[in-house]
Amino acid sequence: MSTAATGIAMARGDGSAERPYRLAVIAGDGVGPEVMAQALRILELVAEKRGLRFALTRYPFGSEHYLRTNETFPPEALEEIRGHDAVLLGAIGDPRIETGLLERAIIAGLRFGLDLYINLRPVKLYAEHLCPLKGITPADIDMMVVRENTEDLYTGMGGHFKRGTPDEVALQEMILTRKGADRLFRYAYELARSRERKKLTLVDKANAVRAFDLWRRAFAEIGAEYPDVSTNCQYVDAACMNFVRDPGSYDVIVTSNVFGDIVTDLGAMIAGGMGLAASGNLHPGQVSLFEPIHGSAPDIAGKNQACPLAAILSIQMLLDYLGHPGEGRAIEAAVEGALVELEIPSAQAGNGLSTQEMGKIVARRVAALL
């Protein structure tokens, strides 16, 4: 198992690749290209310092491409991406385009198309002043959210009947499968086992949504193989309360696709904001995707104001995944140092630093650490 700080288990690489790593890069919309440029700057620096090689394939998908060509995300691109080791994504979303069209085609297209069943989202407080809660220190917030990524309300099963009439009916099915639950929980138990506290919290809504009965049984049955991991179950509403009241009570959280989407925005806010929240969309051992969890932020797009730290920490997760946890840790330490020493005072747009300046600061610190 990997000893990466992000705890990514069953990594794709073992750090000894003789050929260049193949990376598909989709910078996307809004602030995506700006934060991607800084993330790639860090990747190139690490590559140069450590003799790693990356072959990048850049894809133009996103709103501009769609407006120009009417193409969202062609099946040939997905097939080609399968031949890569990993994907880096900036952000997708544009107010000029029908809500969700590109997000479903590109983000969901990749998550479902590559069967990326784990969405791993660290929630870690790097410096006390970044937390909006009173009396909370970095020792209190260090959790990993394991978000299910290929089921639930996101499968697209459903539809409209009598659309546009007063009798319209809209249906969207919430899908949970036993296979999906088993592989998700196994990953979460392994991750919890690899961490010091060995604590796993299931977050669901089993008191109101009967389908979660399947999850409760699978969670308990798989848990029998992990007697060293302590577990508890919480309803998602109570979990939101506890994120604010007692974030230190969490170590690893495993939750559903839609609840994971929501609680990780909350998690990001207690740990300094969306500008710091990275993620890995994983199919352990196969091509996986790394992205900041923030969106395209059209209000600040093109202004050189977006915080690139989430995209940069996605590079940490990528390197961990490829089997280079030492390099990953250097990136994390550089980000942490810049925040603690107030060289980057916060992860909010408008912190007085440009996107490029923040990238430069992290790059200087990474260079000093490698």
Residues marked as catalytic: 154, 205, 237, 261, 265
Residue 135, phi-psi category: left (phi > 0), alpha (psi -120 to 50), beta (remainder): left
Q: Does 148 bind ligand IPM (CB under 6 A)?
A: no
- Which one of 29, 34, 85, 103 is in contact with ligand IPM (CB under 6 A)? 103
Report the nearest approach of ligand IPM to the CB of residue 50 (Å).
Answer: 30
Alpha helices (H) along the chain: 32-50, 63-69, 75-81, 101-102, 109-113, 178-194, 212-223, 236-245, 257-270, 309-321, 325-340, 355-369
Q: Which does 107 bind (CB under 5 to 8 A by kind): ligand IPM, Mn ion, none?
A: ligand IPM
Q: Are 263 and 253 in contact (CB under 8 A)?
A: yes
Q: Are 270 and 141 in contact (CB under 8 A)?
A: yes
Count interface residues toward Mn ion (CB under 5 A): 1
List the one residue out of 291, 282, 342 whose CA is nearest residue 314.
Answer: 291
Report the nearest approach of Mn ion to the CB of residue 264 (Å).
Answer: 7
Q: Does 114 bind ligand IPM (CB under 6 A)?
A: no
Give the CB-nearest residue to ligand IPM: 103
Nearer to ligand IPM, 9 or 120 (CB): 120
Q: Does 204 bind Mn ion (CB under 5 A)?
A: no
Positive or negative CA dihedral for 283, 284, 286, 287? Answer: positive
Nearer to ligand IPM, 293 or 317 (CB): 293
Pick out residues in 236-295 that bind ligand IPM (CB under 6 A): 261, 293
Determine the Cα–Cα distance for residues 310 and 339; give it in Å rounded to an integer: 13
Which residue has 């009439």 as its token pair?
A: 165
Q: Which does 29 bind (CB under 5 to 8 A by kind): ligand IPM, Mn ion, none?
A: none
Q: Does 103 bind Mn ion (CB under 5 A)?
A: no
Report the nearest approach of ligand IPM to the CB of residue 187 (Å).
Answer: 18
- Eight-state DSSP code of residue 20: P
Q: Does 34 bind ligand IPM (CB under 6 A)?
A: no
Report the nearest approach of ligand IPM to the CB of residue 94 (Å).
Answer: 11
Nearer to Mn ion, 142 or 261 (CB): 261
Report the nearest approach of ligand IPM to the CB of residue 91 (Å).
Answer: 8
Report the nearest approach of ligand IPM to the CB of residue 337 (Å).
Answer: 27
Nearer to Mn ion, 13 or 295 (CB): 295
What SS3 string covers 122-141?
A: EEECCCHHHCCCCCCCCCCC
Question: Rounded to the nearest 5°, which phi and psi values hold at 117?
Answer: -80, -10
Nearer to ligand IPM, 110 or 358 (CB): 110
Q: Are 181 and 221 in contact (CB under 8 A)?
A: no
Q: Does 261 bind Mn ion (CB under 5 A)?
A: yes
Tally of CA atoms within 13 A in the half-sphere of 221 that contains its CB: 12
Nearer to ligand IPM, 156 or 350 (CB): 156
Positive or negative CA dihedral for 321, 325, 331, 336? Answer: positive
Element (H, E) at 322: none
Pick out residues in 338-367 that bind Mn ion (CB under 5 A): none
Which residue has 């983000």 as its token pair?
A: 107
Q: Which residues bind ligand IPM (CB under 6 A)?
A: 103, 107, 261, 293
